[in-house]
Amino acid sequence: MDNCFEAARRTGVKHTVFASSLAVSGEQAKFGDRLVTEDDERYGTTQYAVNKIINEWPAHDYRRKYGMTISCVRPANVTGPDKKFGSIDHVNCMCQPARGNVVTFAHRDTMRSIIHVEDMAAAFARILLSDKPKRETYNSGGATVSLGELAALVKEFLPDADIRFENEEGGRAKSGSFLIDNSRLVEEFGVQYAPLRQRVKEVINDIRRDADQPLVD
């Protein structure tokens, strides 16, 4: 990340946008039942979260020292048909049943803030195309949902989906931040996301189309 910022400085890039993550905030339990804002303390302790926090520091330094325009975007739990790394339980909840596979999760009440990859890309594009954004950091936000609720949506399209949970409770308390305030992004750039139900259907159909399976209505 340091190399990217230095390259942008040396080549005179006018606006640099980089991806941090909602993971920097840590567990939702640190904030209770309120929305997490960009100005909140960063409590993330996983290796991934700490690396993202570290990446935000040189961005601050390059802004301060060189007057650069650098935008930090904190994506929520990005979903799509081909995601294989990172936060993928919500992806597997849709994709594995679409393939006809059984899928099992530890807790039904594990919480996620889900954003489809196309919505995330649109948010990045809007920020990048702005010459001078009003803020330095933007939460993407997303649809707040438990894995159990997501499974119910999947079963609306795939009634025979075999989605299992080892425990009904215990996941919410350990979940990363999932109540995300993205009012900065919405108010400044007019971002609007497609409904979660629509995106679930699209992900399922993306999988089934690749497998030459009938699409769901």
Nearest-angstrom CA–CA distance, 116 and 141 = 11
Q: Quick one: what percent of the chain has pLDDT higher than 90?
A: 97
The residue with tokens 């999760």 is: 105
pLDDT score of 191: 94
Would you state the structure tokens that stand for residue 108, as one six-digit string?
Answer: 């039904």
Taken as a whole, the chain contains a residue count of 217
Selection from 112, 119, 124 nearest residue 203 by Cα: 119
pLDDT score of 215: 97
pLDDT at 82 over 90: no
Average pLDDT in the 34-49 region?
Answer: 97
pLDDT at 85 over 90: no
The residue with tokens 């807790």 is: 107
Q: Which amino acid is at 92?
A: N
Domain 2-209 part of CATH 2.60.34.10: no
Q: Quick one: what percent of the chain has pLDDT higher than 70?
A: 100
pLDDT score of 33: 96
Selection from 103, 97, 114 nearest residue 179 by Cα: 114
Average pLDDT in the 131-154 region?
Answer: 97
Nearest-angstrom CA–CA distance, 51 and 131 = 27
pLDDT at 5 over 90: yes
Average pLDDT in the 174-201 region?
Answer: 97
Q: What pLDDT digit, counting tens, does each position of 148-178 carry? A: 999 999 999 999 999 999 999 999 999 999 9
pTM: 0.95
Selection from 211, 92, 110, 212 nearest residue 163 by Cα: 92
Nearest-angstrom CA–CA distance, 55 and 62 = 11
Q: Are 36 and 74 in contact (CB under 8 A)?
A: no
Average pLDDT in the 64-81 region?
Answer: 97
